[in-house]
Amino acid sequence: MVVGLAVASCQVSRPFTTLQNSDRALADSMLAYALDHEAVYTLLDTIKPVSSVKFLRFPVAKTSFMKDGDHQVTPGDSLPALALQYARICAELSKGDHQFVMMPFAQKEGHMRNIEIYVVRKSRFSSLIAQHAAFFGQWGFTPESDPATVLPVIEYESRHDRNRGYGLLFGYPLYAVDFFVTANQTVEKDTTIKLVPRDFFAIPVYAGNKGHFTYAMPKGHQPSEIDSMIYRRAVHTLDRYKAQRPKYFTSGGLKAIALWRNWNKKP
């Protein structure tokens, strides 16, 4: 059942050697993509408290012919073994300051359910909850709250609380989160406005300089010191990753687990 995927995470430290060979190959592939995109700033840094790692899509959602409360929703084979494998990998990779959470989206498309794997930097996540206690406290969340509980609550909340929650958790500066929420509220109130004018601030990742770790800002807004600080720190981490990456690249692809594991080890 998809419900079980919402908490497919574990905070117990485990050695990476417990990964089965087939799981290790898939985990390497998953982390390689994550490191080449914005999750590098969660896996190798603390810039982003939470980052997306893997997008999945399975035919498990209710159809239009099913009623609220129906018990027989998904056939036994509708959730493929791949989903169980990713759930197992999330548990095995959740180690130290990192936690992997496999979470179904609230919105469905026909009988398809989208599921996202997130990686959480737990220390940064906790400090963020404390910093924005006035917002996250409405659900009783504290710095000790489990990310596997917090993330689904935010996902299934009303539109504007969902946007604010995700904006903060994904590491965007407060002014950008405020602008995004207010802009959506404005469009909601005034149907003659399709989109509040905006500019974008893009932080580069290995996969490209734009369209990944990017956030909206008011039209004409000049980047502030907080934007510059995030940018400089990100580029420093990215440059270091670019220098390390070739050392872990083989004919079979990037050995991402080894790179991640050795990141903070002294030469």
pLDDT score of 16: 56
Residue whose C-alpha is closest to residue 94's, from 22, 34, 26, 12: 12
pLDDT score of 10: 38
pLDDT score of 17: 55
Report pLDDT digits (tens) over 142-181: 999 999 999 999 999 999 999 999 999 999 999 999 999 9
Taking the C-alpha atoms of residue 170 and residue 52, their distance in angstroms, rounded to an integer, is: 9
Q: Can you say whether the dihedral through the CA atoms of 242, 243, 245, 250 is positive or negative?
A: positive
Report pLDDT digits (tens) over 101-128: 999 999 998 889 999 999 999 999 999 9
pLDDT score of 127: 98
pTM: 0.89
Confidence of residue 63 (pLDDT cuts 50, 70, 90): confident
User: Could you give the angle at which helices 21-36 and 81-93 cross, rounded to 10 degrees?
Assistant: 70
DSSP secondary structure string, 153-191? Answer: HHHTS-HHHHHHHHHHHTT--HHHHHHHHHHHHHHHH-T
Whether the pLDDT of residue 9 is over 50: the answer is no
Residue whose C-alpha is closest to residue 136's, from 48, 47, 146: 146
